[in-house]
């Protein structure tokens, strides 16, 4: 049984709200139960992001591409473009919201990883896009904010 099958009982398949424009989408999902471990919450967020991209028709390529210089959480392909997605999930605002975790240092690390992956797989620069998904979980509700085509440099 894969992790997505394990997570399916935690989703209420209907989304509560949706807000969308060209480079920003916000969706709210009902979550019936939360994971208690940090690893569980992170995997939950990545699976929710993967489900979200799947609903948009994106083809999943790889997750957790990891090298010494950093990691890319999710990689998708859509209309000949490779989408590299950083996912941050938070269950508390004690250390700030999920959206606040995308620092300049983190953006530089993501850019280096995208450049490395693109060289390794011979992907032209005009076929690359960087996205950020912030997931904030509060009181059984997961709010997903999708920022498409973010500037890393």
Tell me the mean pLDDT in the region 77-94.
92
Q: Rounded to two decimals, what is the model's pTM? A: 0.79
The beta-strand segments (E) located in the chain are 11-20, 24-31, 59-67, 70-78, 81-90, 128-138, 141-147
How much is the mean pLDDT over the chain?
82
Cβ neighbours of residue 114 closer than 8 Å, sequence gap 6 or more: 72, 84, 128, 130, 152
How confident is the model at residue 9, as a pLDDT? 38
pLDDT tens readout for residues 89-118: 988 877 778 888 888 898 999 999 999 999
Give the whole-angstrom CA distance, residue 38 versus residue 110.
Answer: 21
Instruction: For residue 72, name the pLDDT band (cuts at 50, 70, 90).
Output: very high
Does the structure show a pLDDT above 50 at 62? Answer: yes
User: Which two three-digit tokens encode residue 121?
Assistant: 């797989």
Q: Is the pLDDT of residue 76 over 90?
A: yes
The CATH classification number of 51-126 equals: 3.40.1350.10
For residue 149, what are the CA distances in angstroms to 38, 87, 101, 146? 28, 14, 17, 10
Per-residue confidence (pLDDT) for residue 94, from 0 to 100: 79
Q: Which of the four pLDDT bands, split at 50, 70 and 90, describes residue 22? A: confident
Give mean pLDDT, residues 61-88: 94
| CB-facing half-sphere around the CA of 79: CA atoms within 13 A | 4
| Residue 13 pLDDT level (bands cut at 50, 70, 90) | very low
pLDDT at 102: 86
């Amino acid at each position: 049984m894969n992790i997505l099958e394990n997570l399916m009982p935690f989703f209420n398949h209907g989304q509560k709200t949706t807000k969308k424009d060209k480079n920003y989408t916000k969706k709210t999902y009902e979550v019936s139960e939360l994971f208690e471990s940090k690893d569980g919450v992170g995997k939950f967020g990545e699976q929710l992001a993967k489900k979200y991209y799947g609903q948009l028709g994106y083809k999943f390529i790889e997750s957790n591409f990891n090298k010494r210089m950093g990691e890319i959480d999710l990689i998708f392909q859509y209309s000949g473009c490779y989408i590299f997605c950083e996912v941050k999930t938070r269950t508390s605002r004690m250390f700030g919201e999920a959206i606040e975790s995308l620092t300049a240092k983190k953006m530089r690390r993501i850019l280096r990883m995208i450049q490395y992956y693109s060289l390794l797989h011979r992907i032209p620069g005009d076929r690359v896009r960087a996205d950020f998904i912030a997931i904030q979980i509060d009181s059984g509700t997961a709010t997903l904010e999708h920022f498409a085509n973010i500037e890393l440099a």
